[in-house]
């Protein structure tokens, strides 16, 4: 449901123990009522106080954190039962129980979705309006109680929606803070390290370039170029991440021969990649983004896997094409699989990686209307992405 939320950040136990404190307050008020209760009603008042005290103790001690966050909603049932009994049993108690019904709606609104508040309406009518009507308290009292129920529902719903908006705002701020911290850490590490290498290469060439053998000069220049390419890849990845977050991806979709696209993509790589793609298989994709997807996945297989590395493809149901990139290496450790497609993933410990490649790959594939997933290949790893057929 759109507005579903768990209890506030204190946790499920906080919501339940908050209700336990309400039960304790009910015990105190009930015992205070002994001072004005008729002698014939005092036994019932003591029973109600004992029931509330037992509920308070059980609610406080129960391990709510082990269960579904919505479980504390069951506390509404005994509360409604006790309030309904008080409304029916004690003359004039309709005024005394109304604030407790309202408090119940406030509690539900603070900790649960609007649908839970709305579901409380019929139950509250049974516990409040029906006893008044059965006891023949008069048309004015019954009508007033009937109008009170939607008012209490509206209050609870407003609180629930407001809490839900604040919850979403906090999540957005926390997500931005995580992105900022990760970006800062990435820039500090992944830019400083290659820049240091490039600076060292330039200083070496400047001081000793004339006396160095040609093969050593070429090795230093090649090292500097690799580090500059690393910075370029980082800049490209960060720009892609910013586009995905802020403006979304704009695709230039057109029919593309998949065999030719794979052939072009693997030509940029330093290791041989096998192909098993039907030359007539055509997909509908953005050429540059499809190339980026293929390069990311095959480069990942080269970096972490072992030969042979094979790209294959096959039509699937629903007008899609499944493209597989498989290596024959050690595979991805089970404890790192969940983080594979996360932003700044810790699953990729290679110094050449910035932890954005697989996350961007997934976003690019999803922008085309497909998805990407990992599966063990025994031996090795297989990444499969789907993309619409032309």
Domain extent listing, the chain? 12-173, 191-246, 254-388
How far, in Å, CA of 115 to CA of 70, rounded? Answer: 12
Spans in the chain with pLDDT lower than 70: 1-11, 36-37, 90-95, 175-176, 178-193, 230, 233-234, 236-249, 343-356
pLDDT of residue 31: 80
**Four-way CATH pick for 254-388: 3.30.1340.10, 3.40.1190.20, 3.30.70.100, 3.30.565.10:** 3.30.565.10
pLDDT of residue 42: 77
pLDDT of residue 114: 92
């Amino acid at each position: 449901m759109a507005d579903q939320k768990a209890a506030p950040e204190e946790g499920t136990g906080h919501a339940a123990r908050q209700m336990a404190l309400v039960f304790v307050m009910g015990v105190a008020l009930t015992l205070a009522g002994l001072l004005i209760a008729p002698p014939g009603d005092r036994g019932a008042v003591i029973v109600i106080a004992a029931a509330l005290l037992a509920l308070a103790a059980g609610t406080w001690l129960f391990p709510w954190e082990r269960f579904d966050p919505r479980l504390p909603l069951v506390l509404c049932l005994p509360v409604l039962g006790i309030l309904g009994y008080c409304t029916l049993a004690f003359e004039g108690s309709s005024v005394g129980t109304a604030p407790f019904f309202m408090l119940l709606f406030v509690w539900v609104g603070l900790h649960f979705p609007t649908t839970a508040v709305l579901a409380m309406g019929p139950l509250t009518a049974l516990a409040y309006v029906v006893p008044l009507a059965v006891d023949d308290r008069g048309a004015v009292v019954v009508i007033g109680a009937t109008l009170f129920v939607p008012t209490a529902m509206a209050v609870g719903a407003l609180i629930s929606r407001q809490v839900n908006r604040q919850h979403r705002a906090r999540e957005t701020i926390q997500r931005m803070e995580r992105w900022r911290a990760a970006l800062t850490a990435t820039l500090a590490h992944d830019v400083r390290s290659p820049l240091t290498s490039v600076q060292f290469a330039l200083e070496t060439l400047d001081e000793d370039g004339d006396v160095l053998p040609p093969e050593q000069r070429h090795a230093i220049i090649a090292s500097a170029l690799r580090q500059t390419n690393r910075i370029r890849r980082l800049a490209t990845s960060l720009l892609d991440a910013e586009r995905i977050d802020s403006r979304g991806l704009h695709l230039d979709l057109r029919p593309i021969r998949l065999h030719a696209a794979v052939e072009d993509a693997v030509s940029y790589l330093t290791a041989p990649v096998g192909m098993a793609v039907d030359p007539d298989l055509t997909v509908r994709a953005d050429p540059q983004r499809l190339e980026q997807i293929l390069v990311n996945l095959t480069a990942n297989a080269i970096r972490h896997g072992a030969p042979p590395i094979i790209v294959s493809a096959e039509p699937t149901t629903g007008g899609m094409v499944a493209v597989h990139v498989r290596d024959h290496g050690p595979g991805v450790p089970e404890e790192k699989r969940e983080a594979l497609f996360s932003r700044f993933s810790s699953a990729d410990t290679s110094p050449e990686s910035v932890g954005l490649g697989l996350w961007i790959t997934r976003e690019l594939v999803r922008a085309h209307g497909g998805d990407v997933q990992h599966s063990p290949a025994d031996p090795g790893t297989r990444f499969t992405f789907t993309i619409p057929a032309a």
